Amino acid sequence: MPADRSPPRPPLTVVVGRGLKHAESTHAIHAVIARDDGSLVAWHGDPERPTFPRSAVKAIQALPLLESGAADRYGFTPADLALACSSHSGTPLHVDAVRGMLTKAGIDSDSLECGTHWPFDDASARALARSGAEPCPLHNNCSGKHAGFLATARHLGLDPSGYVAADHPLQARVTRALSEMIGVPMSASNRGIDGCSIPTYKVPLAGLATAFARIGSGAGLPAARAEAFRRLREAVAANPLLIAGLGRFDSRVTASCGGRVFLKSGAEGVLCAAIPAAGLGIALKAEDGASRGVEVVMAELLLRHLPAPTADERSLLTELRAPPLKNWRGTNVGWLGMKVESGL
């Protein structure tokens, strides 16, 4: 975008408060709101800030799964499609469903190259420990996306080995989809490696906001791609717990707003959303990488930009824009909240 159109401004500030009035910490948040024609509605911080979207773009990374015909060939349900876009909590619900995706596509879970970690959900991790078991790659929060990758590779007749590498033909398709949607080239010069070992590419925040506006409305996209995003959005809306997990921001907002908001978080404080009815996309990045900061801003922005929010939507977003902080005895000891800003 030309420099005269979107010069940097001061970022938004989220205050982490202690007691009734004391600021203890603050988060600086870059925020861009874009229309699906690529124009910007508003921004704070640097709208061109180079940003690794990390897991925020899983819906784009799932395009080859749908566009290749793999999802239909293996009979993937809306729940399976939601998992392909998810950063899940590793509960038995998630793990069993991802195992089911692999079974449908005739793939062994040993093929997963996402790495292993204990479930993000503490109760599930403790239950797993209590059962005497150890975690496996299915518990990795990205296992649904990787199951989608493997199904696509199998459908296309590709050797799955090393499917996470940037030069594997599967990742070449994923990278092409990202580049087409975000509108910038992706190469070794803007590449990093994500937590689940696939490439992640540093892109301007405004490009992410525009991509999400188009994920929501389909404007300017080939019909098949717009249809693929419609299926993914509806799949996620119908399965809010699968996109993340109980109590988590992404799942709570999705459960409340249904198909009216499509949003996804990424590591290091990335959070993107589409508001299809308004043709808007929102992209947020916490300068310091803290998710608690961008969640507060997203709740605030959705309250302002979601057309005619219902009482339930308003109630949840009002709670999430000013969440209390509790200590180990459950006492309210602090709060988070965005400093009042104009032009949002």
Nearest distance in Å: CB 46, its own copies: 12
At closest approach, how far in Å is the CB of 257 from its own copies? Answer: 28
Q: CB under 8 A: which stretch of 31-39, 189-197, 253-261, 296-304 binds its own copies?
A: 189-197
Amino acid at site 105:
A
CA angle 120, 12, 180 (to 5 degrees): 65
User: Which one of 62-70, 92-100, 285-293, 304-312 is the stretch in contact with its own copies (CB under 8 A)?
Assistant: 285-293
User: Which 244-283 residues touch its own copies, going by CB under 8 A?
Assistant: 268-269
Note whether 310 binds its own copies by CB under 8 A: no
DSSP symbols for 182-242: H-S--SGGGEEE-TTSSEEE-EEHHHHHHHHHHHHH-TTS-HHHHHHHHHHHHHHHH-HHH
Tell me the residue type at 38. G
Ramachandran class of 185: left when φ > 0, alpha when ψ lies in -120 to 50, beta otherwise: beta
Whether the Cβ atoms of residue 155 and residue 74 lie closer than 8 Å to each other? yes
Using CA atoms, how far apart are residues 295 and 250, in angstroms rounded to an integer? 9
Which of 104, 202, 231, 314 binds its own copies (CB under 8 A)? It is 202
Binding residues with its own copies: total (CB under 8 A): 50
Question: Least distance in Å: CB of 159 to its own copies?
Answer: 19
Q: Does 330 bind its own copies (CB under 8 A)?
A: yes
Q: Within 119-178, which residues bind its own copies (CB under 8 A)?
A: 122, 125-127, 129-130, 132, 140
Nearby residues of 46 by Cβ (< 8 Å), 6 or more positions away? 8, 11, 30, 205
Angstrom distance (rounded) from CA 310 to CA 308? 6
Rg of the chain on CA atoms, in Å: 19
Q: State which residue, 18 or 304, has the beta carbon closest to its own copies.
A: 18
Q: Does 57 bind its own copies (CB under 8 A)?
A: no
Q: Is 10 in the site for its own copies (CB under 8 A)?
A: no
Per CB under 8 A, the segment of 87-95, 219-227, 254-262, 324-332 that binds its own copies is 324-332
Which residue shows structure tokens 């874009």? 34
Q: Which stretch binds its own copies (CB under 8 A): 82-90, 205-213, 284-292, 310-318?
A: 284-292
SS3 42: strand
- To 5 degrees, how large is the angle CA 298–CA 17–CA 54? 35
From 24, 96, 312, 319, residue interacting with its own copies (rule: CB under 8 A): 24
Binding-site member from 115, 183, 259, 323 for its own copies (CB under 8 A): 115
| Binding-site member from 75, 106, 289, 324 for its own copies (CB under 8 A) | 289
Residues in touch with its own copies (CB under 8 A): 16, 18-19, 22, 24-28, 50, 52, 113-118, 122, 125-127, 129-130, 132, 140, 190-197, 200, 202, 268-269, 286-290, 293, 327-331, 333-334
